[in-house]
Every structure is written in structure tokens, then in C-alpha cells.
Amino acid sequence: MAPHPPRYAGGPCFACGEPWPCFERQLSTLVEFAGRGELLVAYMGDWYRLGVEERRRRGLPPDPDLELRHLGWLDMVLPAQGEQRSGDAEAAPPRRPMPGGLRPMPGDLLHVTRAASVQFVRPIFFRVIRVHDDWHTYHGWLWLDGYQTDSKGNAVDRRSIYVRPAGLRWLNHAARPPAPPCR
Ligand SMILES: [Zn+2]
């Protein structure tokens, strides 16, 4: 078990009592996920979402520093935006311009692979219900609510996923409103 666990998601550290993830846990997490920056972002993103939900469930006020503590220190482990790491080339599919850009919309059917997040080593099919604009996220990442589906498009599980839209593949698009004129 990793040292300095949280007392509960969104709460203080069980070991030192500091707001979680405390400095010691951030350090040990950096070591644990060395060389796997994307997995670390997905991991801390999961903790961040759980923290927001758990604080709400316990009737605690939102913690304004929660996002910074979970995600604000991850810049150091990720390549700069747009930079392609060597050895990761197969993860970047050739990209065609998508209607409405690369942003998912409710109703879209997506193929979510490890290009969207390394937690999807086993790709899934995903029908988008909603995009969480109200949840702060690490830049270049999004929370999506929706249904995991089987290959025929039948819903098998409702879940929230944390992904990089740039790594998603669209299987089909929901109808979109006409694009606004360029300003
Ligand atoms: Zn601690």
C-alpha cells in the first residue's frame, strides 16, 4: 500500500494530517509513476473526482485547493502540449478534421484507446451522455459521462472517464448545431 493514504477521498492524509495528497504522497507518487506521466494524470484525476464526490456526499464545503493539490504539480511529468514523445508514435492515429472539432458531444460514439489515456490499454466503446465543463480538469483532458457499450452499441455500464480528446476516435457523430461563424 502506498504511504500516506487519504483518510477519505478529498480529506486529509491519514499519516500526517495534511490535506491530501500531502507533499510526502506527491513525492512517493512521482517515484511510483516515474516515466508513466499519463497514467499518473489519470490516477490523480480519479482521486480528484472521487474527492469532489466524497466531499459533496459528506456535506463538506468544496475545497478550493483540491484541484491544485491533485493536478497542479503534474506539469513536470508530462511532455509539453503537442510534443510527441518518441516511441509513442503508434498511439497517434492519423487525424482528419472532425465536424465540430475534436471536442466530444452528447450522443457521440467513441472508441477510447490508450491514445486517450493509458488506462485504456484495453480499448472500450463509449457513448457520450455529457461533457463535464463544470469539473476543472488538467489542461488537454476532459471528464465524460456516458455508457460503455459493446461492439454493437448496446450499453453495458454507465461510467465517467477521464480522457484526452486529442486521442479519441470517433465512430459516429451526434447531430451538431451549425458551426458558429469565425470571429
Ligand atoms: Zn501525509
Asked whether residue 75 falls in the same domain as residue 96, the answer is no
Q: Is 57 domain-assigned?
A: yes
Point out the domain boundary residue: 79, 103, 135.
Answer: 79
**Gap from CA of 177 to ligand 1 centroid (Å):** 48
**Gap from CA of 38 to ligand 1 centroid (Å):** 23
Domain range enclosing 145: 90-172
**Gap from CA of 10 to ligand 1 centroid (Å):** 13
**Gap from CA of 6 to ligand 1 centroid (Å):** 8
* Distance, CA of 106 to CA of 97 (rounded, Å): 19
> For residues 46, 8, 158 and 106, what is the CA-based torsion angle, rounded to 10 degrees?
-50
**Gap from CA of 45 to ligand 1 centroid (Å):** 19
**Gap from CA of 30 to ligand 1 centroid (Å):** 14
Asked whether residue 10 falls in the same domain as residue 67, the answer is yes
| Domain count along the chain | 2
**Gap from CA of 18 to ligand 1 centroid (Å):** 6
Q: Is 84 domain-assigned?
A: no
Q: Is 179 domain-assigned?
A: no
Work out the mean pLDDT of the chain and round it to a whole number: 80
**Gap from CA of 26 to ligand 1 centroid (Å):** 9
Asked whether residue 71 falls in the same domain as residue 2, the answer is yes
**Gap from CA of 42 to ligand 1 centroid (Å):** 21
Point out the domain boundary residue: 56, 79, 102.
Answer: 79
Q: What is the pLDDT of residue 170?
A: 84
Q: What is the pLDDT of residue 76?
A: 63
Q: Is 178 domain-assigned?
A: no
Q: Is 183 domain-assigned?
A: no
* Distance, CA of 177 to CA of 154 (rounded, Å): 26
Residues of the chain with pLDDT under 70: 1, 75-101, 136-137, 175-183
**Gap from CA of 132 to ligand 1 centroid (Å):** 30
What the block records as the C-alpha cell of 155 is 450499453
Q: What is the pLDDT of residue 10?
A: 95
Point out the domain boundary residue: 79, 98, 128.
Answer: 79
Q: What is the pLDDT of residue 1?
A: 58
Q: Specify the long-range contacts of residues 48-56, CB closer than 8 Å, at least 24 apart.
A: 49/135, 49/143, 49/160, 49/162, 50/9, 50/10, 51/6, 51/9, 51/10, 51/11, 51/20, 52/10, 52/135, 53/9, 53/10, 54/8, 54/9, 54/10, 54/11, 55/10, 55/11
- Strand partners of residue 124: 112
**Gap from CA of 11 to ligand 1 centroid (Å):** 11
CATH assignment of the domain containing 116: 2.30.30
**Gap from CA of 119 to ligand 1 centroid (Å):** 26
